[in-house]
Structure 1
C-alpha cells in the first residue's frame, strides 16, 4: 500500500475508530504497522521488544483517539508515542547491552527455532551482520533504512510515512550506503524485510482491543508518557499506587470491623478461631492482590498485562466470595441453629437481613472490583 493510500485509509477510518469501531482501527493498524515497528526497532535494536512497544503504542493511541482533532496528525502523533515508549524501554533496560552480543541474541529470538545446523550457521551470520549494522548506522538513518526495505525501496514512500522530505530521505540513504559494504547492506535489506510484522501482529492487537476500554478523553499513564516520558509516568504510577493503598486500607478496615461484630456473639473458641482465620485469609488476599497487580502493571505489556490483571481480579474475587458465602456461614452454623431454637421468627428475620446485606455487599464489591480493574488498566499502560 503506497503512502497516499495509507493516508486516505487513515483519514477514512479514524472517525469511526474514534467512535469505538475496533474493526476500523484494525485496518489502521494493518496500514501503519510497518512504520511503527520500524521506529521502535531503530531505537531498541531488539525485534521482540520493538513489537511489544508497537503494540502498546497502537493501544495507547486507540484509547485516546478523541483527543486527536485532525486525522492528518495521527501518524506523526503515533510515531512520537512510539519513540517515547522505546526510549522508556531503553532507560528501563539500560543495564542490558543493546548491541554486539546482546543485540545478536535479541534478533536471533525472532528466527526459526528449529533450523538444521547448516541453516543455523547461515542464520547466525545474517543475524550478527544485522545486529552490527543496526548498531553501526547513524541514529537518523535507522528508521529510514528499515522502512526503505520494508516499503519496496521507495524513498517517496518513506518520506511520506516518516514526515520527511524526499531529499532528506535520499541523503540519509546515501550516508548509510557509503558507510556499509554492499554485501552487508544486502543482508540488512533481507533482515529488514523478514523482520517486518505479519498479519498475526494485527490479529494480536485486534484481540487486545476487545478487552481495552474504548477511545476516551480520560487521563492515563501513557498520555503522560507520550507528553513527557517515563519519569513523569512513574510519578503517575506512584500516585495510582497511593490510591490503591487507600482502597486496600478501607477494605481491611471493613474486614476487621465485620469480624469484630461477628465475634461479639461467638459461642466458643472454635467459632472464634474459624472467623478470625477467614478474616486473615481475606486480608492476605487483599494485600496480595494489590502487590501482584502493581507488579503486573510495571513488568508486563499489552495483551499479557490485560490478561494477567483480569486473572488476578477474578482470583481475588473468588477468594472473597468463597470466604463470605461458604466459610463464614459454615462457622456460624451452630450459633444460627441455637438462635433458631430460642426464637425461630426473630432468627429468620435476622438471617434474611444478613442475606440482603451480604448480597448488597457482594454486588457493590463486584461493581467496585471491575471498575477498579478498568481504571487500573487505563492508568497503568493501555492509555496514551
Structure 2
C-alpha cells in the first residue's frame, strides 16, 4: 500500500473516508492510524460477534482478535474498499469457530473450568454469580427472540443512535435493506421485548476501554510489514482457542511461552485438586496457581511497557528471567512442598508404586521446564530480533 494517505471524496460516507485516509498508514505500521479505524468500527465488529455467540464478554474477545488478525494481515489487502467486508468476514468466521469449539467441549469440561475459576477467585460471591447468570440468560433470550437476519442490524441501530444510514454504512447494506429488517423485527417481536433489547444494546456497547485494550495489544504486536507468517496465518485462519490467538497476536512469539505457562498451571491444577487430601492442601494449590497466573499477567504487562518506553534488550531479558524463575519455583519447589503430605500417605500405602510415580513426575517436570525455558528464551530472542532490538 502507498504510505501517503489518500484523499477521499467528500460525498462518501464518513467511515469510508476515514478508512481511505488511515488505512495506508496503518498498513505501514502506524498503530495510531489503525487505532482510529478500530474506534470507528468497534460497534459493528462487536455487534456481529454478539449476534452469533450471544455472549457479551466472548463477543469483545472475538472482536479484539478480529482487529489483531486484520492488523497483522493488512499487507495482503489490495483494495482499501474491501477492508470493511474483509473485517466483517473475519469476525463472523471467528465467532462461528468459537461456537464450534464450545460445542465440542464436553459439559463436564465446561463445568470444571467454571469451578476452577470460581475457586481461584473468591469474587463474585454466590449471590453475585446468580445475578450474572440471570443477566447472561436474559442476553440469550433477547437475541434469540430476534429474526436471525435482523440481530446485527438491531444491535447496531441502537448503538449508533438509531440512525439507519449509519448502520447501512457499517454493515455494507443499503439504507432500504436496513429499514426493511428493522420493520420485520418490529412486526415479529413485541414492543416490550424490543424496548428491553434497545436498553441492552446501548448498555453492552464497547467503551473507550475496548479501543485502549486493542491499542495495548498492538503496542507489542509485529507491524503488518514484519508480521511473522505463522502467527498471521494462524490468526487469519481462526484456528486454536480464542485466548491463545489473542495472546499470540498481541505479544508475537513471546506469547507462546505465556500461553504454555498459563495452560500448564491450570491444567496441572485440575489434576492436583482431584486428589487433594483436605481444604488446606486445596487452598495452597490454588494459591500457587494464582501466583503463577499473576506472574504471567505481570510478564505480559511488563512487556507492553517495555515495548513502549524502552528500546533495548536488557529490560525484556531481565523481566523474562524473573517471570520464568517465578514459574519454575512454584512448579519445582512450592508445589512439591504442598504435596509432601499426600506423597507420604501414598508411600505408606504402596511404596513401590509411589516411588515410580515420583520418578515419572520429576522426569515430566524437568522435561516441561526444559521445553518452557527453550520456548521462552527462543521466543524472546525472536521478538528482540524482529523488533530491531538485537
TM-score of the two chains, using structure 2 as the length reference: 0.55
Mapped to 2, the partners of 1:77 and 1:138 lie a distance apart of: 24
The residue that corresponds to 2:147 in the other structure is: 138
1:131 Cα deviation (Å)? 2.9
With over 3 angstroms needed to count, the CA separation of the structure-2 counterparts of 1:215 and 1:289, relative to structure 1, is: closer
Please report the RMSD computed on the Cα atoms of aligned residues, expressed in angstroms: 4.6
Q: Secondary structure at the match of 1:137?
A: coil
User: 2:204 matched to 1:195?
Assistant: yes
1:170 aligned to which of 160, 179, 188:
179
Mapped to 2, the partners of 1:133 and 1:29 lie a distance apart of: 27
User: 2:285 matched to 1:292?
Assistant: no
Mapped to 1, the partners of 2:68 and 2:298 lie a distance apart of: 12
With over 3 angstroms needed to count, the CA separation of the structure-2 counterparts of 1:127 and 1:366, relative to structure 1, is: closer
1:35 aligned to which of 44, 53, 56:
44
**8 Å CA contact retained: 1:141, 1:176:** yes
User: 2:19 matched to 1:19?
Assistant: no
The residue that corresponds to 1:223 in the other structure is: 233
User: 2:300 matched to 1:307?
Assistant: yes
Deviation readout 1:58-110 (Å, 9 max, x if unpaired): 1111111111112111111111111111111111111679xxxx9xx9xxxxx
Mapped to 1, the partners of 2:298 and 2:65 lie a distance apart of: 10
**8 Å CA contact retained: 1:130, 1:187:** no
**8 Å CA contact retained: 1:293, 1:309:** no
With over 3 angstroms needed to count, the CA separation of the structure-2 counterparts of 1:176 and 1:154, relative to structure 1, is: same
Deviation readout 1:316-357 (Å, 9 max, x if unpaired): 7659xx9xxxxxxxxxxxxxxxxxxxxxxxxxxxxxxxxxxx
The residue that corresponds to 2:380 in the other structure is: 370
With over 3 angstroms needed to count, the CA separation of the structure-2 counterparts of 1:209 and 1:70, relative to structure 1, is: same
1:57 Cα deviation (Å)? 0.8
Mapped to 2, the partners of 1:47 and 1:86 lie a distance apart of: 12
With over 3 angstroms needed to count, the CA separation of the structure-2 counterparts of 1:221 and 1:186, relative to structure 1, is: same
Deviates more, 1:129-138 or 1:207-216: 129-138
Mapped to 1, the partners of 2:258 and 2:219 lie a distance apart of: 24
Mapped to 2, the partners of 1:38 and 1:56 lie a distance apart of: 14
User: 2:172 matched to 1:180?
Assistant: no
User: 2:52 matched to 1:59?
Assistant: no
Mapped to 2, the partners of 1:368 and 1:155 lie a distance apart of: 51
Give the unaligned 5+ runs of structure 2.
1-10, 115-122, 249-256, 268-292, 304-315, 330-373
Mapped to 1, the partners of 2:150 and 2:259 lie a distance apart of: 44
With over 3 angstroms needed to count, the CA separation of the structure-2 counterparts of 1:149 and 1:222, relative to structure 1, is: farther
Mapped to 2, the partners of 1:371 and 1:65 lie a distance apart of: 25
1:47 Cα deviation (Å)? 0.3
Mapped to 1, the partners of 2:96 and 2:43 lie a distance apart of: 19
Q: Secondary structure at the match of 2:17?
A: helix
1:138 Cα deviation (Å)? 2.4
Mapped to 1, the partners of 2:169 and 2:86 lie a distance apart of: 14
With over 3 angstroms needed to count, the CA separation of the structure-2 counterparts of 1:162 and 1:179, relative to structure 1, is: same
Give the unaligned 5+ runs of structure 1.
106-112, 241-287, 323-363, 377-384
The residue that corresponds to 2:278 in the other structure is: none
**8 Å CA contact retained: 1:126, 1:187:** no
Structure whose CA Rg is larger: 1
TM-score of the two chains, using structure 1 as the length reference: 0.56
The residue that corresponds to 1:73 in the other structure is: 82
Larger RCO (alpha carbons 8 Å, 6+ apart)? 1
